[in-house]
Amino acid sequence: MQIEALGLGKRFGRDWIFRDLTYAFAPGSATALLGPNGAGKSTLLQVLAAYTLPTAGELRFSHAGRSVRPDEVALYLALCAPYLELIEELTLQEQLQFHTRFRPLLAGRTPVQLLDILQLGTARHKLIRDFSSGMKQRVKLGLALYTDAPLLFLDEPTTNLDRAGVAWYHEHVAAATPGRTVLVSSNVEEEYAFCGAQLRVTDFAPRR
């Protein structure tokens, strides 16, 4: 899937977060959105996901030669972000079954296989609310990585993961990203080391 940003800008009140951003995210590419905390990485990611409207400029989306409207982008997107929550009243098995009722997994994958991929099979009947923060993050990552979607957006993907969890992330991001358009919002190099391109949000911050 391709995303074209043309003169893109976002502001809150009088303060511009970024402005005059023109960039093309090509199909099959992996791009890191970089910048210090507060630079606007997550805001840019949400704009590119069509979750929030830009203040200025235009976004164009296309997939397999077809134009995609902004209100359709969610159908093509898998997202893992700190502000997205799991359904805490469900068990892990129920969460996976619920998710796959609406969003299919990558070809050849099943909810049972995803349990094995997550390495959380012994917790399948445990309520999500009783998971540790690291376990919840692994579930969110697994659902994003293995959902059949041409767009994959990862916002601070190793948040709350221990070293074993980070190693798990590296293994599965390598397995699940080829052929997809991937954006990683981060300021931690090991989260985006696999990306072939980098975009610094601060390069599009208005000069004061």
Domain ranges for the chain:
2-204
pLDDT computed for residue 10 by the predictor: 96
pLDDT computed for residue 191 by the predictor: 96
Mean pLDDT on 180-200 = 96
> Which CATH fold would you assign to the domain 2-204?
Rossmann fold (3.40.50)
The rounded mean pLDDT for the chain is 95
**2-12 and 15-25 as β-strands: parallel, antiparallel, unpaired?**
antiparallel
For the stretch 25-71, pLDDT in tens is: 999 999 999 999 989 999 999 999 999 999 999 999 999 999 999 99
pTM listed for this prediction: 0.95
pLDDT band at 73 (very low <50, low <70, confident <90, very high): very high
pLDDT band at 124 (very low <50, low <70, confident <90, very high): very high
Nearest alpha-carbon partner for 195 in 72, 31, 8, 66: 31
Q: What percent of the chain has pLDDT over 90?
A: 95
Q: Please tell me the number of Cα atoms within 13 Å of 46 on its side-chain side.
A: 16
pLDDT computed for residue 208 by the predictor: 53
Three-state SS string over the chain comes to: CEEEEEEEEEEECCEEEEEEEEEEECCCCEEEEECCCCCCHHHHHHHHCCCCCCCEEEEEEEECCEEECHHHHHHHEEEECCCCCCCCCCEHHHHHHHHHHHCCECCCCCHHHHHHHHCCHHHCCCEHHHCCHHHHHHHHHHHHHHECCCEEEEECCCCCCCHHHHHHHHHHHHHHCCCCEEEEECCCHHHHCCCCEEEEHHHHCCCC
Whether residue 205 is predicted with pLDDT greater than 90 in this model: the reply is no
